[in-house]
Amino acid sequence: MRPEIIYAYGQRYVLATATLTRDDVAKVLAAQPGNQSRTPAYLADKWVVSDHFTLLDVHAQLPDLGVTAGKSGESVTTGPIIVERNVNQVARPGGAFGAPPDFLVLDGQNRVVSARRHGPRTLISAYVGNSILADLQHKDAEFAQAYEHLQAAIDDFLSTPSMPGGKLSKLKSYVERGLLTPAELEDIRRQWRTRHKSGDAVGTPPCRRYRRDRVPQWTPALVTSGCQPGCPALDVAARAPCPFDGRWADAARQCPCYR
């Protein structure tokens, strides 16, 4: 069964099959509105290097899936996308001087943009050319593994009671890699504020160090009220009781164990 292109109410639908040939892809490209003056043979020579295409699911957020700028995400087509090697080195994310992605979405770019709005876990069906099949599967597996590492980084961030600047920077790096959206990062920060404001911290919160820079003449001391058993502050406080014990307004600013 070969793919069939159906027009209905001005929209184009591509029926999915297990595989596509080079000629099948050329016909799909020729049916695109911007290519109707070009022949399938011309489009195949210009864009298609694979002999056949295999249907599989890939992560829509995979950075190597090249999509040209300006796509709205409002697709008038359905069905799997078509991915091929980026032989013409187009769809540079940084403009003319940006590095071209390894793969190019030949058909279904708006579908990719729409799927990316649902987050990095979104899978999309794709016909992948045999010339890039192994490479794309490898990079897609790496992307999935990186997402697992992201989940561990989120859990680590949320379990830290004091504002973890370094761990927050690590999460920001995942935004740059496309694994996390800015809105999702802000939601994670709200979760952290809500959890630790209500005292719902995971694990034993470490005691904050005494602010020597603020009051350098004072002997470092810790407040142990509410500390967990085994907290290292207990031993320190036994030797140097905090001068602000019981005065929580001042302790909030200057005692490291105040929570």
Q: Which tops the pLDDT comparison, 14 or 184?
A: 184
- At residue 88 the predicted structure's pLDDT band, cuts being 50, 70 and 90, is very high
Give, for 14, the enclosing helix (H) or strand (E).
strand 11-14
CA-closest candidate to residue 242, choices 227, 228, 230, 229: 227
Enter the tokens of residue 188: 């994670």
What percent of the chain stands above pLDDT 90? 25
Between CA 212 and CA 86 the distance in angstroms is 57
Q: 141: helix, coil or strand?
A: helix
- At residue 3 the predicted structure's pLDDT band, cuts being 50, 70 and 90, is low
Average pLDDT over residues 190-212: 55
Per-residue pLDDT for 256 more than 60? no
Average pLDDT over residues 153-167: 83
Per-residue pLDDT for 173 more than 70? yes
pLDDT tens-place string over residues 135-154: 999 999 998 888 888 888 88
Alpha-helix residue ranges (DSSP H) falling in the chain:
22-30, 40-47, 109-116, 133-158, 165-176, 182-197, 233-239, 248-254
Q: Is pTM, for the whole model, over 0.85?
A: no
- Listed by start position, the domains of the chain span 5-131, 144-197, 205-259
Instruction: Give the pLDDT confidence score for residue 78 in this predicted structure.
Output: 78
Mean of pLDDT over the chain: 74
Between CA 232 and CA 247 the distance in angstroms is 22
CA dihedral 177, 183, 185, 189 (to 10 degrees): 170
pLDDT tens-place string over residues 213-230: 334 344 444 444 555 565
